[in-house]
A and B are shown apart, each in its own frame.
Chain A
Amino acid sequence: MAPSTSQQQQGLADMVGGLLRDYDKRTPSRLKVVDAYLAYILFTGIFQFIYCALVGTFPFNSFLSGFLSCVASFILAVNLRIQVNPENKSQFAISPERAFADFLFCHVILHLTVMNFMG
Protein backbone atom coordinates (compact mmCIF):
# COMPACT_ATOMS: atom_id res chain seq x y z
CA MET A 1 0.00 0.00 0.00
CA ALA A 2 1.55 3.36 -1.05
CA PRO A 3 1.81 5.95 1.73
CA SER A 4 -0.64 8.90 1.45
CA THR A 5 0.54 12.49 0.78
CA SER A 6 0.38 13.63 4.35
CA GLN A 7 2.30 10.57 5.37
CA GLN A 8 4.88 11.38 2.69
CA GLN A 9 5.18 14.92 3.97
CA GLN A 10 5.53 13.65 7.47
CA GLY A 11 8.18 11.22 6.33
CA LEU A 12 10.09 14.03 4.61
CA ALA A 13 9.99 16.22 7.67
CA ASP A 14 11.21 13.32 9.79
CA MET A 15 14.05 12.73 7.37
CA VAL A 16 15.23 16.32 7.37
CA GLY A 17 14.90 16.59 11.14
CA GLY A 18 16.83 13.39 11.55
CA LEU A 19 19.53 14.63 9.21
CA LEU A 20 19.96 17.85 11.15
CA ARG A 21 20.09 16.09 14.52
CA ASP A 22 22.57 13.57 13.23
CA TYR A 23 24.70 16.39 11.81
CA ASP A 24 24.62 18.20 15.10
CA LYS A 25 25.68 15.13 17.09
CA ARG A 26 28.19 13.56 14.82
CA THR A 27 30.26 16.42 13.32
CA PRO A 28 33.10 17.87 15.35
CA SER A 29 32.63 21.54 16.20
CA ARG A 30 35.73 22.40 14.25
CA LEU A 31 34.05 21.28 11.07
CA LYS A 32 30.94 23.17 12.07
CA VAL A 33 33.05 26.35 12.07
CA VAL A 34 34.11 25.55 8.51
CA ASP A 35 30.48 24.87 7.59
CA ALA A 36 29.42 28.24 8.95
CA TYR A 37 32.14 29.91 6.88
CA LEU A 38 30.93 27.99 3.84
CA ALA A 39 27.38 29.16 4.40
CA TYR A 40 28.59 32.78 4.60
CA ILE A 41 30.48 32.46 1.29
CA LEU A 42 27.46 30.84 -0.33
CA PHE A 43 25.16 33.63 0.74
CA THR A 44 27.54 36.30 -0.56
CA GLY A 45 27.83 34.55 -3.91
CA ILE A 46 24.07 34.16 -4.31
CA PHE A 47 23.50 37.82 -3.49
CA GLN A 48 26.00 38.90 -6.11
CA PHE A 49 24.45 36.72 -8.73
CA ILE A 50 20.95 38.06 -8.09
CA TYR A 51 22.29 41.62 -8.21
CA CYS A 52 23.91 40.96 -11.57
CA ALA A 53 20.73 39.37 -12.91
CA LEU A 54 18.75 42.47 -11.89
CA VAL A 55 21.12 45.25 -12.82
CA GLY A 56 22.83 43.76 -15.86
CA THR A 57 26.33 42.62 -16.64
CA PHE A 58 28.07 46.00 -16.81
CA PRO A 59 30.93 45.92 -15.82
CA PHE A 60 31.33 42.25 -16.55
CA ASN A 61 34.90 41.91 -15.38
CA SER A 62 33.99 43.23 -11.95
CA PHE A 63 31.08 40.81 -11.68
CA LEU A 64 33.24 37.87 -12.69
CA SER A 65 35.96 38.89 -10.28
CA GLY A 66 33.60 39.23 -7.32
CA PHE A 67 31.56 36.15 -8.10
CA LEU A 68 34.51 33.91 -8.84
CA SER A 69 36.24 35.05 -5.65
CA CYS A 70 33.21 33.65 -3.80
CA VAL A 71 33.22 30.44 -5.81
CA ALA A 72 36.95 29.87 -5.38
CA SER A 73 36.83 30.64 -1.67
CA PHE A 74 34.03 28.12 -1.36
CA ILE A 75 36.06 25.46 -3.16
CA LEU A 76 39.16 26.12 -1.06
CA ALA A 77 37.13 25.95 2.16
CA VAL A 78 35.52 22.68 1.05
CA ASN A 79 38.95 21.25 0.38
CA LEU A 80 40.13 22.36 3.79
CA ARG A 81 37.13 20.67 5.38
CA ILE A 82 37.85 17.42 3.54
CA GLN A 83 41.48 17.40 4.52
CA VAL A 84 40.81 18.29 8.14
CA ASN A 85 37.95 15.83 8.67
CA PRO A 86 39.19 13.09 11.02
CA GLU A 87 37.10 10.49 9.18
CA ASN A 88 39.30 10.93 6.09
CA LYS A 89 42.56 10.45 7.92
CA SER A 90 43.30 7.22 6.11
CA GLN A 91 43.32 8.93 2.71
CA PHE A 92 45.64 11.81 3.47
CA ALA A 93 49.14 11.80 4.83
CA ILE A 94 49.15 15.48 5.72
CA SER A 95 48.43 17.12 9.04
CA PRO A 96 45.57 19.60 9.54
CA GLU A 97 48.13 22.34 10.03
CA ARG A 98 49.70 21.64 6.67
CA ALA A 99 46.21 21.59 5.14
CA PHE A 100 45.50 25.00 6.61
CA ALA A 101 48.83 26.36 5.38
CA ASP A 102 48.01 25.19 1.84
CA PHE A 103 44.58 26.79 2.22
CA LEU A 104 46.10 30.16 3.13
CA PHE A 105 48.66 30.02 0.33
CA CYS A 106 45.96 29.38 -2.26
CA HIS A 107 43.93 32.25 -0.84
CA VAL A 108 46.84 34.65 -1.27
CA ILE A 109 47.04 33.78 -4.95
CA LEU A 110 43.27 33.98 -5.27
CA HIS A 111 42.96 37.46 -3.81
CA LEU A 112 45.86 38.78 -5.86
CA THR A 113 44.11 37.59 -8.99
CA VAL A 114 40.75 38.94 -7.89
CA MET A 115 42.11 42.41 -7.18
CA ASN A 116 43.87 42.44 -10.53
CA PHE A 117 40.81 41.45 -12.50
CA MET A 118 38.43 43.70 -10.63
CA GLY A 119 39.47 46.83 -12.50
Chain B
Amino acid sequence: TAVIDHFHHAVGLDAGDHTTMLAWEVVDAEPLAGRRVGDDPAPVIFRGVGQTVDPGNELVMQVLSAESNAYSAFPADPIAAYPMAVGRATLLVTALQARNNARVVFSGSLDLFSDRFFRAPVLCSRCGTQYARSGNEAFATALGQWVCGQRGVVRVKSVTHHLVGGGGVGGGVGVALPEAYTINDHVHYEIEIEELRAGEWVPFEREDVQLDFHRIDPFVRKTLERRPVPGGGGRVVYATEFQLPDVIGVFKFLVEYRQPGFQFLRSQLDVSVVPYRHDEYERFILAAYPYYASAFSMMGGLFVFSFVFLYHRESKAKQE
Protein backbone atom coordinates (compact mmCIF):
# COMPACT_ATOMS: atom_id res chain seq x y z
CA THR B 1 0.00 0.00 0.00
CA ALA B 2 0.95 3.60 -0.29
CA VAL B 3 -0.38 6.85 0.96
CA ILE B 4 -2.27 8.62 -1.80
CA ASP B 5 -3.31 12.23 -1.78
CA HIS B 6 -5.03 13.50 -4.87
CA PHE B 7 -5.14 17.07 -3.68
CA HIS B 8 -1.69 17.63 -2.28
CA HIS B 9 0.74 15.74 -4.47
CA ALA B 10 3.97 17.19 -5.75
CA VAL B 11 3.63 18.08 -9.40
CA GLY B 12 6.78 17.24 -11.27
CA LEU B 13 7.96 14.58 -8.89
CA ASP B 14 4.89 12.43 -8.95
CA ALA B 15 4.68 9.42 -11.30
CA GLY B 16 0.99 9.95 -11.94
CA ASP B 17 -0.54 7.87 -9.15
CA HIS B 18 -0.33 10.74 -6.66
CA THR B 19 1.71 8.86 -4.12
CA THR B 20 4.37 11.54 -3.94
CA MET B 21 2.55 13.76 -1.55
CA LEU B 22 3.09 16.81 0.54
CA ALA B 23 2.61 17.07 4.26
CA TRP B 24 2.57 20.14 6.44
CA GLU B 25 1.30 18.66 9.68
CA VAL B 26 4.36 18.45 11.87
CA VAL B 27 4.15 17.80 15.60
CA ASP B 28 4.38 20.83 17.84
CA ALA B 29 7.65 19.86 19.47
CA GLU B 30 10.62 21.99 18.69
CA PRO B 31 13.32 19.40 19.42
CA LEU B 32 11.64 16.91 17.15
CA ALA B 33 10.73 18.99 14.18
CA GLY B 34 13.19 21.81 14.23
CA ARG B 35 10.53 24.45 14.00
CA ARG B 36 7.63 25.81 15.97
CA VAL B 37 3.98 26.21 15.14
CA GLY B 38 3.54 29.58 13.54
CA ASP B 39 6.52 29.35 11.22
CA ASP B 40 5.57 29.08 7.57
CA PRO B 41 7.80 26.29 6.40
CA ALA B 42 7.90 24.38 3.19
CA PRO B 43 6.10 21.05 3.20
CA VAL B 44 7.79 17.70 3.43
CA ILE B 45 7.67 15.48 0.34
CA PHE B 46 6.79 11.92 1.19
CA ARG B 47 6.40 8.76 -0.86
CA GLY B 48 5.69 5.58 1.03
CA VAL B 49 3.61 3.61 3.45
CA GLY B 50 1.22 5.02 5.97
CA GLN B 51 0.97 4.16 9.67
CA THR B 52 -1.64 4.26 12.36
CA VAL B 53 -1.03 4.44 16.05
CA ASP B 54 -2.95 3.36 19.13
CA PRO B 55 -4.45 6.56 20.52
CA GLY B 56 -4.04 5.20 24.03
CA ASN B 57 -0.29 5.04 23.72
CA GLU B 58 1.23 7.86 25.75
CA LEU B 59 4.77 7.48 24.52
CA VAL B 60 4.26 7.76 20.77
CA MET B 61 4.40 11.07 18.95
CA GLN B 62 2.84 11.68 15.56
CA VAL B 63 5.67 13.52 13.93
CA LEU B 64 4.35 13.90 10.40
CA SER B 65 0.70 13.48 9.45
CA ALA B 66 -0.89 13.57 6.05
CA GLU B 67 -3.41 16.20 5.01
CA SER B 68 -7.09 15.51 5.42
CA ASN B 69 -7.49 14.37 1.82
CA ALA B 70 -5.04 11.51 2.08
CA TYR B 71 -5.74 7.85 2.44
CA SER B 72 -3.81 4.61 2.38
CA ALA B 73 -4.53 2.09 -0.42
CA PHE B 74 -2.99 0.04 -3.23
CA PRO B 75 -2.36 2.56 -6.02
CA ALA B 76 -3.05 0.19 -8.90
CA ASP B 77 -6.21 -1.45 -7.54
CA PRO B 78 -9.70 -0.08 -7.15
CA ILE B 79 -10.64 0.49 -3.57
CA ALA B 80 -12.75 -2.36 -2.30
CA ALA B 81 -12.80 -1.71 1.43
CA TYR B 82 -12.57 1.28 3.77
CA PRO B 83 -8.89 2.23 3.95
CA MET B 84 -6.90 1.46 7.07
CA ALA B 85 -5.91 5.08 7.43
CA VAL B 86 -7.78 8.11 6.23
CA GLY B 87 -7.13 11.81 6.43
CA ARG B 88 -5.13 13.31 9.27
CA ALA B 89 -5.04 9.96 11.03
CA THR B 90 -2.72 8.71 8.32
CA LEU B 91 0.68 9.02 9.89
CA LEU B 92 3.78 9.26 7.81
CA VAL B 93 6.48 9.52 10.43
CA THR B 94 6.09 8.55 14.07
CA ALA B 95 8.44 8.58 17.00
CA LEU B 96 8.55 6.76 20.28
CA GLN B 97 10.40 7.79 23.43
CA ALA B 98 10.44 5.04 25.99
CA ARG B 99 10.38 5.63 29.73
CA ASN B 100 14.13 5.18 29.87
CA ASN B 101 14.45 7.93 27.25
CA ALA B 102 15.36 5.53 24.44
CA ARG B 103 14.16 6.92 21.10
CA VAL B 104 12.85 5.23 17.98
CA VAL B 105 11.58 6.80 14.76
CA PHE B 106 9.38 4.97 12.26
CA SER B 107 9.28 6.49 8.81
CA GLY B 108 7.09 5.15 6.03
CA SER B 109 9.31 6.62 3.35
CA LEU B 110 12.99 6.27 2.59
CA ASP B 111 12.75 8.77 -0.25
CA LEU B 112 11.97 11.43 2.32
CA PHE B 113 15.66 11.36 3.22
CA SER B 114 16.97 11.32 -0.34
CA ASP B 115 19.04 14.11 -1.82
CA ARG B 116 16.58 14.41 -4.69
CA PHE B 117 13.74 15.26 -2.36
CA PHE B 118 15.98 17.53 -0.29
CA ARG B 119 16.75 19.68 -3.31
CA ALA B 120 13.42 19.54 -5.15
CA PRO B 121 11.29 22.63 -5.58
CA VAL B 122 7.68 22.08 -4.61
CA LEU B 123 4.52 22.79 -6.54
CA CYS B 124 1.35 21.63 -4.88
CA SER B 125 -1.18 20.19 -7.29
CA ARG B 126 -4.52 21.54 -6.21
CA CYS B 127 -3.61 24.24 -3.71
CA GLY B 128 -1.13 25.76 -6.15
CA THR B 129 1.37 26.96 -3.62
CA GLN B 130 4.98 26.95 -4.65
CA TYR B 131 8.17 26.65 -2.69
CA ALA B 132 11.68 26.99 -3.95
CA ARG B 133 12.91 24.14 -1.86
CA SER B 134 11.15 21.45 0.11
CA GLY B 135 11.24 21.24 3.86
CA ASN B 136 12.73 17.76 3.80
CA GLU B 137 16.29 18.64 4.66
CA ALA B 138 15.44 20.71 7.73
CA PHE B 139 12.92 18.14 8.87
CA ALA B 140 15.20 15.16 8.38
CA THR B 141 18.15 16.88 10.04
CA ALA B 142 16.12 17.74 13.11
CA LEU B 143 14.62 14.29 13.27
CA GLY B 144 17.97 12.59 12.90
CA GLN B 145 19.53 14.69 15.60
CA TRP B 146 16.62 13.97 17.88
CA VAL B 147 16.71 10.24 17.48
CA CYS B 148 20.50 10.13 17.88
CA GLY B 149 20.35 11.95 21.18
CA GLN B 150 21.67 15.34 20.10
CA ARG B 151 18.49 17.36 20.50
CA GLY B 152 15.92 17.44 23.26
CA VAL B 153 18.34 16.03 25.79
CA VAL B 154 18.06 17.54 29.26
CA ARG B 155 19.56 16.91 32.64
CA VAL B 156 19.39 18.27 36.17
CA LYS B 157 22.60 19.94 37.15
CA SER B 158 21.87 20.74 40.81
CA VAL B 159 19.01 21.02 43.29
CA THR B 160 18.91 22.87 46.61
CA HIS B 161 16.34 23.95 49.12
CA HIS B 162 16.54 25.81 52.39
CA LEU B 163 14.57 28.08 54.69
CA VAL B 164 14.06 31.57 53.36
CA GLY B 165 16.75 33.46 55.17
CA GLY B 166 18.96 30.42 55.58
CA GLY B 167 18.93 27.53 57.98
CA GLY B 168 16.89 24.44 58.50
CA VAL B 169 17.18 21.40 60.71
CA GLY B 170 20.33 19.56 59.81
CA GLY B 171 21.49 21.92 57.13
CA GLY B 172 21.48 25.39 55.67
CA VAL B 173 22.80 27.56 52.90
CA GLY B 174 26.15 26.26 51.74
CA VAL B 175 25.93 23.18 53.94
CA ALA B 176 24.09 19.90 53.42
CA LEU B 177 20.43 20.05 52.50
CA PRO B 178 18.04 20.25 55.47
CA GLU B 179 16.39 16.96 56.36
CA ALA B 180 13.43 18.42 58.19
CA TYR B 181 11.32 21.53 58.28
CA THR B 182 8.62 22.65 60.71
CA ILE B 183 5.03 23.18 59.57
CA ASN B 184 4.25 26.64 58.16
CA ASP B 185 7.92 27.31 57.37
CA HIS B 186 8.83 29.46 54.37
CA VAL B 187 11.20 27.56 52.13
CA HIS B 188 13.16 28.36 49.01
CA TYR B 189 13.75 25.78 46.30
CA GLU B 190 15.89 25.98 43.22
CA ILE B 191 16.88 23.59 40.48
CA GLU B 192 19.31 24.06 37.63
CA ILE B 193 18.42 22.31 34.38
CA GLU B 194 20.64 22.07 31.31
CA GLU B 195 19.95 21.18 27.71
CA LEU B 196 22.30 19.80 25.09
CA ARG B 197 22.51 22.10 22.10
CA ALA B 198 25.09 21.62 19.39
CA GLY B 199 27.18 19.47 21.68
CA GLU B 200 27.22 21.96 24.57
CA TRP B 201 25.25 21.97 27.79
CA VAL B 202 23.43 25.28 27.99
CA PRO B 203 20.77 26.52 30.42
CA PHE B 204 17.30 25.26 29.74
CA GLU B 205 14.96 27.79 28.22
CA ARG B 206 11.41 26.61 28.78
CA GLU B 207 9.13 28.54 31.13
CA ASP B 208 6.81 25.77 32.24
CA VAL B 209 8.80 23.73 34.76
CA GLN B 210 6.66 23.01 37.81
CA LEU B 211 7.42 21.95 41.36
CA ASP B 212 5.20 19.63 43.40
CA PHE B 213 5.42 19.53 47.16
CA HIS B 214 4.16 16.03 47.31
CA ARG B 215 2.92 13.59 49.92
CA ILE B 216 0.85 11.02 48.05
CA ASP B 217 -0.89 14.04 46.49
CA PRO B 218 0.67 17.41 45.75
CA PHE B 219 -0.04 19.85 48.54
CA VAL B 220 1.64 22.72 46.74
CA ARG B 221 2.19 23.07 43.00
CA LYS B 222 4.07 26.06 41.69
CA THR B 223 5.51 27.04 38.35
CA LEU B 224 9.18 27.76 38.85
CA GLU B 225 10.60 31.10 37.78
CA ARG B 226 13.67 31.39 35.66
CA ARG B 227 16.11 33.55 37.55
CA PRO B 228 19.68 34.45 36.62
CA VAL B 229 22.21 33.51 39.24
CA PRO B 230 23.69 36.73 40.59
CA GLY B 231 27.37 36.74 39.77
CA GLY B 232 27.04 33.30 38.25
CA GLY B 233 28.19 34.09 34.75
CA GLY B 234 25.12 33.41 32.66
CA ARG B 235 23.80 30.52 34.71
CA VAL B 236 20.07 30.34 35.22
CA VAL B 237 18.13 28.57 37.95
CA TYR B 238 14.48 27.74 38.27
CA ALA B 239 13.47 28.86 41.75
CA THR B 240 10.52 29.68 43.92
CA GLU B 241 9.58 30.38 47.52
CA PHE B 242 6.46 29.08 49.22
CA GLN B 243 5.01 28.26 52.60
CA LEU B 244 4.84 24.66 53.74
CA PRO B 245 1.35 23.39 54.48
CA ASP B 246 0.10 22.95 58.04
CA VAL B 247 0.47 19.18 57.68
CA ILE B 248 3.13 16.88 59.07
CA GLY B 249 4.64 13.99 57.20
CA VAL B 250 7.36 13.00 54.77
CA PHE B 251 7.10 15.10 51.64
CA LYS B 252 9.09 15.28 48.45
CA PHE B 253 10.14 18.19 46.32
CA LEU B 254 9.18 16.71 42.97
CA VAL B 255 10.00 18.18 39.60
CA GLU B 256 8.74 16.13 36.68
CA TYR B 257 9.08 17.55 33.21
CA ARG B 258 7.39 15.57 30.47
CA GLN B 259 6.93 17.53 27.27
CA PRO B 260 6.89 16.08 23.76
CA GLY B 261 10.33 16.10 22.23
CA PHE B 262 12.26 16.38 25.50
CA GLN B 263 13.65 13.59 27.60
CA PHE B 264 11.67 12.71 30.68
CA LEU B 265 13.14 14.67 33.53
CA ARG B 266 12.52 13.83 37.16
CA SER B 267 14.06 15.16 40.34
CA GLN B 268 12.93 14.08 43.78
CA LEU B 269 14.19 15.17 47.19
CA ASP B 270 12.59 13.78 50.35
CA VAL B 271 12.15 15.95 53.40
CA SER B 272 10.30 15.60 56.71
CA VAL B 273 7.88 18.19 58.02
CA VAL B 274 7.59 18.05 61.80
CA PRO B 275 5.07 19.65 64.17
CA TYR B 276 5.82 22.54 66.52
CA ARG B 277 8.05 21.86 69.51
CA HIS B 278 6.45 22.60 72.86
CA ASP B 279 8.30 25.89 73.08
CA GLU B 280 7.34 27.04 69.59
CA TYR B 281 3.77 27.75 70.58
CA GLU B 282 2.80 31.23 71.79
CA ARG B 283 3.56 31.55 75.50
CA PHE B 284 0.54 33.53 76.63
CA ILE B 285 -2.77 33.22 74.81
CA LEU B 286 -4.67 36.48 74.46
CA ALA B 287 -8.06 34.84 74.93
CA ALA B 288 -6.95 33.43 78.28
CA TYR B 289 -5.96 36.74 79.89
CA PRO B 290 -9.14 36.90 82.04
CA TYR B 291 -8.33 33.48 83.43
CA TYR B 292 -4.76 34.50 84.24
CA ALA B 293 -6.18 37.62 85.91
CA SER B 294 -8.69 35.68 87.98
CA ALA B 295 -6.12 33.19 89.26
CA PHE B 296 -3.86 36.01 90.41
CA SER B 297 -6.76 37.94 91.85
CA MET B 298 -7.68 34.88 93.93
CA MET B 299 -4.18 34.87 95.34
CA GLY B 300 -4.28 38.63 95.94
CA GLY B 301 -7.70 38.38 97.57
CA LEU B 302 -6.43 35.64 99.83
CA PHE B 303 -3.51 37.83 100.90
CA VAL B 304 -5.72 40.80 101.75
CA PHE B 305 -8.31 38.60 103.44
CA SER B 306 -5.69 36.99 105.69
CA PHE B 307 -4.59 40.33 107.03
CA VAL B 308 -8.15 41.51 107.61
CA PHE B 309 -9.21 38.23 109.21
CA LEU B 310 -6.25 37.87 111.53
CA TYR B 311 -6.08 41.46 112.73
CA HIS B 312 -9.81 41.90 113.03
CA ARG B 313 -11.27 43.00 116.36
CA GLU B 314 -14.88 42.44 117.12
CA SER B 315 -16.69 45.80 117.14
CA LYS B 316 -17.32 47.39 120.52
CA ALA B 317 -21.05 46.85 120.32
CA LYS B 318 -20.51 43.09 120.42
CA GLN B 319 -17.97 43.05 123.18
CA GLU B 320 -20.23 43.04 126.21
Contacts and interface: CB of A to CB of B under 8 A. Distances in A.
B298 A111 contact: yes
A58 B288 CA distance: 8
Interface residues of A, number: 34
B302 interface: yes
Contacts of A28: 314, 318
A69 interface: yes
A41 interface: yes
A58 B298 contact: no
Given A41-B301, A111-B299, A48 B290 contact: yes
B306 A69 contact: no
A116 to B, nearest CB: 11
Interface residues of B, number: 22
Given A33-B305, A40-B301, A59-B288, A114 B314 contact: no
B288 A63 contact: yes
A58 B308 CA distance: 36
A30 B309 contact: yes
Nearest to B285: A59
B292 A66 contact: yes
A62 B285 contact: yes
A105 B69 CA distance: 103
Q: Is the interface of B mostly helix, strand, loop or mixed?
A: helix
Contacts of A56: 287
A44 B306 CA distance: 18
B80 interface: no
A65 B298 contact: no
B285 A69 contact: no
Given A29-B312, A33-B309, A100-B309, A70 B318 contact: no
A70 B312 contact: no
A55 interface: yes
Nearest to B292: A118
Contacts of A115: 295
Nearest to A84: B309
Contact of B312 (A33, A59, A114, A119): A33
B100 interface: no
B315 interface: yes
Contact of B295 (A33, A100, A104, A114): A114
Contacts of B287: 55-56, 58-59
A37 interface: yes
Interface in B282-314: 285, 287-288, 290-292, 294-295, 297-299, 301-302, 305-306, 308-310, 312, 314
Contacts of A119: 285, 288
Contacts of A30: 309, 312, 314
A111 B221 CA distance: 51
Contacts of B299: 111
A73 to B, nearest CB: 5
Interface in A55-84: 55-56, 58-59, 62-63, 65-67, 69-70, 73, 77
A104 B298 contact: no
A62 B292 contact: yes
Nearest to B291: A66
Nearest to B299: A111
A51 interface: yes
Interface string A92-119: 0000000010001001000100110011
A69 B295 contact: yes
Contacts of B285: 58-59, 62, 119
B294 A100 contact: no
Nearest to A115: B295
9 contacts: A29-B314, A41-B301, A48-B291, A48-B294, A62-B288, A66-B295, A69-B295, A107-B302, A114-B298
Given A100-B306, A115-B295, 7 more contacts: A40-B301, A44-B297, A44-B301, A62-B285, A66-B288, A73-B298, A77-B305
